[in-house]
Amino acid sequence: VVPAICLSPAARSLFDEPLAIAVQGLSPRQQVTLRASLRDETGELFQACARYQAGHDGDLDLARCPALPGGSFSGLEPMGLLWALQPQKPFWWLVKRDVQSPFLLRLEVFEGHGEPPGRLLAQAQHERAFLRDGVRRVPVREGRIRATLFLPPGEGTFPGIIDIYGYTGGLFEHRASLLANHGFATLALAYFKYEDLPQDPTKLHLEYFEEAVNYMLQHPQVKGPGVGLLGYSKGAELSLTMAAYLKNITAVASLNGPVANTVIPLCYKDKTIPFLPIYEQQAKVTDSNIFDYSDILDDPFQTPGNQSLIPLEKAEAQLLFIVGQDDHVVKSEYHATKVCKHLQAQGKKNFQFLSYPGAGHCIDPPFFPLYPVGKHPVLHKWAVLGGKLGAHSTAQVHAWSQIQAFFNKYLNG
């Protein structure tokens, strides 16, 4: 019998879907090393490997067999080979720019537990896609808006979500495309450093984001009367600000966002909202000369009447705060806890709070690899973003299901 890798689904799955991995045709109790590889769009290689022992029957099912110590992970982790993928180039980040093409995942089975591994016994390829068949990708250039709209298959109307990314600039479509697979009309919205938007803005205007809300509400395939917002980092802060100042926002999911205006002044009509100061001298330096910027942002709760604090008591939307307890960019757990106490004191009940131990700043959809060190979005130096391998992945899987349940409940009524 020749060993073979069995995958389910066999040839192609969505990136946020589990993939069942098994190996058949091994010798009884045979020791093998499994390796997963994936190249990103720039050609950089991500890899993970794990050591296993086949069963008495020569079969190895990752859903039933724990990985042995010595690889990228150990224990019963059916998706470990995907979430433990690590860049061969240090501090590299797995980004999907073109969601219309899949990532190609390569799986290999080697003999033994040696370093380097022994003879190649079996290999397989699998596509990890971002768009389900029938999902439409529509570039949007309406008025000032620069965005991409993803529409689920079918003619009906769909609950609408605007997805706003962090202070990286450009347009990120991976999360919006995956949400559209789950039945949401999702607008990935750029707000600087993209096409003819400002490269390096000195202020942001809330009217731009209001225009995006109005675009969604007038779209024939978006089910009103309001929209949902999914924001990450600076995008979460912008989403919360929108909920405080704009109409027709029904539900906001905030991923590791501050609850005060940061980085840059924000203008709306004749009002300018100042930003929280950054005290770069409060940075710490780790042993490997990487900055830890956990403590550089001013505390908006320390000065009463702080003008930067978002007046969330004005928000009528349902609010879902998702925070990583190991976030080293924003004290997101502290921010969310304080604001929920404040809302509670005002007699409000429109908020939920999910806090994840071991989760870092960069909470992405499931099975994106941990990104624990990266360029700081504002100071552009190598910085600790946080997160522990394993715990961060568990958080991403759980948070993703909670985000969908939250939007289904409040946008589908």
Tally of structural domains, the chain: 2
Single-letter amino acid code for the residue at 125: Q
pLDDT for 130: 98
- Listed residues 81, 101, 129: the one ending a domain: 129
- Listed residues 98, 129, 160: the one ending a domain: 129
Single-letter amino acid code for the residue at 176: A
- The confidence band for 377, taking pLDDT boundaries of 50, 70 and 90, is confident
Residue 212 CA to residue 190 CA, distance in Å, equals 10
Q: First CA to last CA across the chain, in angstroms?
A: 55
Residue 94 in 3-state DSSP?
A: coil
Residue 312 CA to residue 245 CA, distance in Å, equals 9
Torsion of CA 93, 162, 127, 77, to 10 degrees: 70
pLDDT for 115: 87
Whole-Å CA distances, 234 to 11, 76, 96, 256, 379: 37, 36, 20, 9, 14
Residue 389 CA to residue 72 CA, distance in Å, equals 9
**Per the omega criterion (within 30 degrees of 0), is the bond before 365 cis?**
no
Strands 20-24 and 12-14, by their bridges, are: unpaired
178: left (phi over 0), alpha (psi -120 to 50) or beta: alpha
pTM over 0.85: yes
- The confidence band for 71, taking pLDDT boundaries of 50, 70 and 90, is very high
Q: Is the pLDDT of residue 413 over 80?
A: no
pLDDT for 286: 86
Q: Among 201-215, 266-280, 294-308, which stretch is predicted with the lowest mean pLDDT? A: 294-308
Looking at the fold, whether 80 and 222 belong to one and the same domain comes out as: no
Q: Rounded mean pLDDT of the chain?
A: 96
- The boundaries of the domain holding residue 103 are 4-129
Q: Among 13, 37, 72, 233, which one carries the catalytic annotation?
A: 233
Looking at the fold, whether 240 and 124 belong to one and the same domain comes out as: no
Looking at the fold, whether 217 and 304 belong to one and the same domain comes out as: yes
Secondary structure letter of residue 328 according to DSSP: S
Question: Phi and psi dihedrals of 187, rounded to 5?
Answer: -105, 110
Instruction: State how far Cα 180 lies from the chain centre.
Output: 15
With a CB cutoff of 8 Å and minimum separation 6, the contacts of 413 are: none
Catalytic residue status for 233: yes
Q: What percent of the chain has pLDDT over 90?
A: 94
Looking at the fold, whether 220 and 282 belong to one and the same domain comes out as: yes
Looking at the fold, whether 39 and 96 belong to one and the same domain comes out as: yes
CA angle, 115 as apex, 110 and 116 as ends, to 5°? 60
Q: Is the pLDDT of residue 411 over 90?
A: yes
Looking at the fold, whether 146 and 47 belong to one and the same domain comes out as: no
158-210 tens-digit pLDDT? 999 999 999 999 999 999 999 999 999 999 999 999 999 999 999 999 999 99
Catalytic residue status for 361: yes
Catalytic residue status for 57: no
Taking Cα atoms as reference points, which of 294, 296, 266 lies closest to residue 279? 296
Residue 348 CA to residue 8 CA, distance in Å, equals 46
Looking at the fold, whether 101 and 161 belong to one and the same domain comes out as: no
**CB–CB of 217/224 below 8 Å?**
yes
Q: Among 174, 219, 328, 361, which one carries the catalytic annotation?
A: 361
Looking at the fold, whether 163 and 69 belong to one and the same domain comes out as: no
pLDDT for 89: 95
Looking at the fold, whether 237 and 93 belong to one and the same domain comes out as: no
Looking at the fold, whether 86 and 157 belong to one and the same domain comes out as: no
93-124 tens-digit pLDDT? 999 999 999 999 999 999 999 988 899 999 99
Looking at the fold, whether 33 and 164 belong to one and the same domain comes out as: no
Q: Is the pLDDT of residue 252 over 90?
A: yes
Looking at the fold, whether 169 and 238 belong to one and the same domain comes out as: yes
- Listed residues 129, 145, 177: the one ending a domain: 129
H-helix or E-strand spanning residue 61: strand 60-61
- Which CATH number goes with the domain that contains 288? 3.40.50.1820
Taking Cα atoms as reference points, which of 374, 400, 398, 378 lies closest to residue 387? 374
Q: For residue 103, what are its two tokens?
A: 């990532």
Measured N-to-C along each axis, helices 234-245 and 206-218 cross at an angle, to the nearest 10 degrees, of 70
Q: Among 16, 326, 327, 364, which one carries the catalytic annotation?
A: 327
CA angle, 32 as apex, 29 and 37 as ends, to 5°? 150
Secondary structure letter of residue 64 according to DSSP: T
Torsion of CA 50, 56, 60, 61, to 10 degrees: -120
Mean pLDDT over 361-384 rounds to 94
Torsion of CA 246, 252, 256, 260, to 10 degrees: 20
Residue 310 CA to residue 237 CA, distance in Å, equals 8
With a CB cutoff of 8 Å and minimum separation 6, the contacts of 244 are: 310, 311, 312, 314, 315
